[in-house]
Structures are given as C-alpha cells and as structure tokens.
Amino acid sequence: MEITNKTARRVRGSRLARTALLGTVAAAALTISAVIPAGASSGSAGVTRARAVATAAERVPTHILQTTRLKTKPTSHKFIFIYDDIQQSQVIGNGAIAGLQAAGWQTSELEWFTANPSTLVTELRTALAQHPFAVSFAGATEAVWGSVVAAYKAAHVWLIPSVVGPQATTYPAYPIGANISSFLQGGAALGDWTIADANGHANVLVSDVNVYPILTTAYTGFRQAFRANCSACKIHYLPMDLTTWATNSATTNGQIVSWLRQNPTYNYVMTTDLTFTGGLRSALNTAGLNNVKIIGAQPNPPDFSALQAGQESAFVANNNTVGGWAIADAALRLSEGMNPAQSNLGQPYQLVTPSNVSIGFNLVGKPAGYISGYRHLWRLG
C-alpha cells in the first residue's frame, strides 16, 4: 500500500547512529559473558519435539492475532509516528501509518536519531504541540522517553511505544504495538530448529544486543527451547559491546571469532538482531571457522541472500509491517474507549530456512489477508 501524507524525511541508516542507541542506559554487564546451564530433557524425544515445532514455524502465518472487533466504524483523529534510523523501525512506522490512513485518520511523521537519544524527547515534545490523539515510536526504552510521560498524561494524548520489551514502566496503561510474546515464541522456534539441525548436539554462542530488552526476549525463548528439549546442548551468552561496535563492527566480530577459536566445540553463533553482525561470515571463514553456522533474529533483506548462498543457516522474522498495523489497531481501540489488550497480542512470526527462504523479505511472516482482516475488525467493510 502506498503511504501518503508524508513529511520530508532525511536519509536513514547510519551504522554509527544505529549502534549508539540507548548508550546512556547500556549496562556494565555488556562485556561480561555468562554460561547458561543445559536443561533437563534429552534424547531423541526432545529432538522430535523440537523438529515438530520448527517445521510448524516455517509455515506462513494464516491470520492476524487480533480477533475482537471495534464497537463502531472509527472516526478520524490525528496520529504521529516518530521514525528512527533503524530499518525495522521504519517498516513498523510505515505499517502503522498505512493502517490508520485506511481507517481515515490524518497522519504525519517526525524523525529522531539514535546517535543522540535526546532527539526522541525533542520530537515527542514537538509532536505533543501538534495536538494529536496518539503518538508512537519503536524500540527505545523508557529510560530515554520517560521524562515526557507526565506531559502526555496532562494533555490526554496517548503514547504508544512499540517493541520496547519487558520492563518496569511509569506508564503502565500504555499499549505496545508488538508484544514480547512474538519475540519469545520466535526465539523458541529458532532454538528448536537448532536442536533438530544438530540432532541434539548443538553448542551455541549467543551474541545479544541487550540494551534492547525486546531482542533479549528472543534469546530467552531460544534458551527455553534448549532447556525443554536438549540437555546435551550448551549455550554461552555473550552480550554485545555496542560502544566497540559503533567504532568498528569488525572489532565486535573479532570478539565473537576469538571466543569461538578458544571454544572449538561450539558450532553455532546466534545473534538476537542480524543487523549487528554484518560481515560475520567472512570473519569466521578467515579464521578457519567455516563449519560454524550463523543463525539469528530480525533479518534484513541481505540476510535472505546470505541464507540462499549458504552463508547463514536459519533465522526467525517478525513481520514488522503487520506489527505496525497492530499499533494502528491500538490507536483505534483507544479512540473508542476500548481496552487495547487485543492490540498487544503481538504480530505473526515465521522461521526461515533454506527450504522456504524464497518467500523473500517483504512477505515473510505476513498473512496474505492481513489488510482485509484488520478492515473487518475495524468495520470498514
């Protein structure tokens, strides 16, 4: 669907900007590794269970997760989405705007830069001055935007943070456009694929961008699958040093390579966001680690090419376009005084492997009838 009524946006995608996001809240534990103990289940039964989950997760989702219809056909309000320079966020925003335009709302856009988190607060204040019904953005934790909550409450404007992950909040009533359940279940499906692929003998180094709580949720699901279905498997958790990555991504890949060379029994490396490990295949091959398989979450278009070329092995994708429509669903429910919990059911996910990678980036995890599904929920015919 073509997006109209757009404000001019600057070119996005600076790697340095992406990686500096939330540097002010990065934990000291970023450079500390932790070993995750193996689980209690083992043997062929665990592998069989894992293979069944993985096979099911490879199928294209057939429906959106929301089911409760609006009380009436929606009336028009104003909505603002504040983009950042990460591709996933941009896709989410496009989906939210497309959904609300389909419902007859007025939409506009602003932009903040992840290299300077204070720009999100600035743009949130700019948005509030335009007297919208709701404002949304993706990814940033409350440590960045919490200072504006009181002003939004006082103005009776809804703030809809999306994909912010599990955390304490001073704004407990806010709806989240993409629930952690999608990331948790997707991470578990990737874990089960790994168990099946290794026939119950997977040792995995996990590289996690843990200043993004939503990404760590994918790791949590991955770990749960191992605990349930593979006691012989091992996970070693290595938080990613974003400060180092922002300076030179090759240094971060070098840290991964160094650890794997010291632990040659590890045969997989899983990253919670494939955005942050570009060039890893080349680094592994240069180090003679050709047999280490790369798996992960949150792929971008180049990852589909890498999977087809055998440079990556599997990844799990949440459909961010549909996640954006879930934000629109939340705004519409709030406009009718309804509980937005339906919107918070998450978005579909799909496991991508060599057997189904031909589906491509734009269609992965996307139910064919998602637009008609939302239109039905919103009583638009």
Contacts of 71 (CB under 8 A, 6+ apart): 336, 338
The proportion of the chain whose per-residue pLDDT surpasses 70, expressed as a percent, equals: 81
Q: What is the mean pLDDT of residues 285-307?
A: 94
Q: What is the pLDDT of residues 107-139, one digit of tens each?
A: 999 999 988 889 999 999 999 999 999 999 987
**Span between the terminal Cα atoms of the chain, in Å:** 17
CB atoms < 10 A from the CB of 52, how many?
A: 12
Range picked from 15-19, 112-116, 301-305 for highest mean pLDDT: 301-305
Phi, psi of 199 (to 5 degrees): 55, 40
pLDDT at 3 exceeding the cut of 70: no
- Give the strand order in the sheet containing 203-208: 34-36, 234-239, 203-208, 268-271, 293-297, 314-318, 349-352
pLDDT at 241 exceeding the cut of 70: no
> Sign of the CA dihedral 151, 157, 162, 165?
positive
**30, exposed or middle or buried, with CB in 10 Å at 0-12, 13-18, 19+?**
middle
CA dist., res. 183 & res. 70, Å (int): 26
Q: What is the pLDDT of residues 332-360, one digit of tens each?
A: 999 998 877 766 666 788 999 999 999 99
Q: What is the pLDDT of residue 249?
A: 59
CA dist., res. 230 & res. 188, Å (int): 12
In this prediction the pTM is 0.78
Instruction: Return the CATH superfamily for domain 23-60+181-318.
Output: Response regulator (3.40.50.2300)
The pair of structure tokens assigned to 195 is 């168990």
Q: What is the pLDDT of residue 211?
A: 67
Map out the domains of the chain as residue ranges: 23-60+181-318
- Bridge partners (DSSP) listed for residue 350: 317
CB atoms < 10 A from the CB of 355, how many?
A: 10
Least confident of 22-36, 197-211, 236-250: 22-36
**178, exposed or middle or buried, with CB in 10 Å at 0-12, 13-18, 19+?**
buried
Q: What is the pLDDT of residues 57-105, one digit of tens each?
A: 999 999 888 889 999 999 999 999 999 988 888 989 999 999 999 999 9
Q: What is the pLDDT of residue 85?
A: 84
Contacts of 124 (CB under 8 A, 6+ apart): 82, 135, 137, 145, 148, 152, 159
pLDDT: which is higher, 170 or 184: 184
Q: What is the pLDDT of residues 36-49, one digit of tens each?
A: 334 444 479 999 99
Q: What is the dihedral of CA 159, 162, 166, 167, to 10 degrees?
A: -30
Q: Which of 320, 276, 274, 265 is nearest to 295 (CA)?
A: 274
Q: What is the pLDDT of residues 143-169, one digit of tens each?
A: 889 899 899 999 999 998 887 765 545
